[in-house]
Amino acid sequence: MTVTVLQFGGSNCDRDAVRALEHLGIDAERRWHADGLPAETDGIVIPGGFSYGDYLRAGAMAARAPVMAEVRAAAADGTPVLGVCNGAQIGAEASLVAGAFTTNESARFQCEPVHLRVERADTPWTAAYDVGDVIRVPIAHGEGRFEIDADAYETLEADGRILFRYCDADGDVTDAANPNGSTGNVAGILGERETTAVLMPHPERATLPDVAASTDGQGILRAFA
């Protein structure tokens, strides 16, 4: 499998994503957005960073790049697509997933490890875990608060499209464990197909044992294996 890691002006986690994937034995290559997707790609990562300086809204400008029409088409065909942090914001702005990511409740940039509770274990992104498992993955964002209206949130829950929730070390989903004020403590969700997912925490920063305090993010990236 060869995974395409998109690169926008302001992306800063593209190399991290490639290195993490290659550590897991997955071929990966960076691709400048203006060059479009390769003729054949087995997976797509929209990485973290500050695309276009996060002007207007985080991810809003990158979401309108021509390559994102290609990403939407690939996602609709079942190609695995993962948006991480700024990639999650881009994915929401591009309607790959429901909802939006807005300014943290604290109104400040937050860079810290968080605990996530696995809500589903029957998707490509969570097959390495069991329901209720608690994993430790870092966040690094200023606009990571997941917002969605009440009816759409109920639909997300009813359709089983919530992958991860912020929790404490014991797996309890509490306000205190919610780092950014996200609705329902949501940290990661699915698109219309289970092969499309976005999350604010950084699994690529919890993959390499020589540099990471946790390797809990490996299971998420193994969806591309």
- In whole angstroms, give the CA distance from residue 163 to residue 131: 10
| Residue in the block written with tokens 């290559």 | 29
Q: Which residue intervals of the chain are DSSP H helices?
A: 14-23, 67-76, 86-93, 150-158, 218-221
Q: CA of 86: how far to CAs of 47, 90, 100, 102, 175, in Å?
A: 6, 6, 12, 11, 23
204 is an active site residue: yes
Length of the chain: 225
Counts for the chain of helices (H) and strands (E), in that order: 5, 11
Q: Could you confirm whether 202 is annotated as catalytic?
A: yes
Active-site residue, from 33, 115, 141, 202: 202
Closest CA to 213 of 73, 113, 103: 113
Q: Is there a contact between 87 and 51 (Cβ–Cβ < 8 Å)? A: no
* Residue tagged active-site, from 33, 85, 115, 141: 85
Catalytic pick among 119, 143, 194, 204 = 204
CA-CA distance, 205 to 215, in Å (whole number)?
8
Q: Is 111 a catalytic residue?
A: no
As annotated, the active-site residues are 85, 202, 204
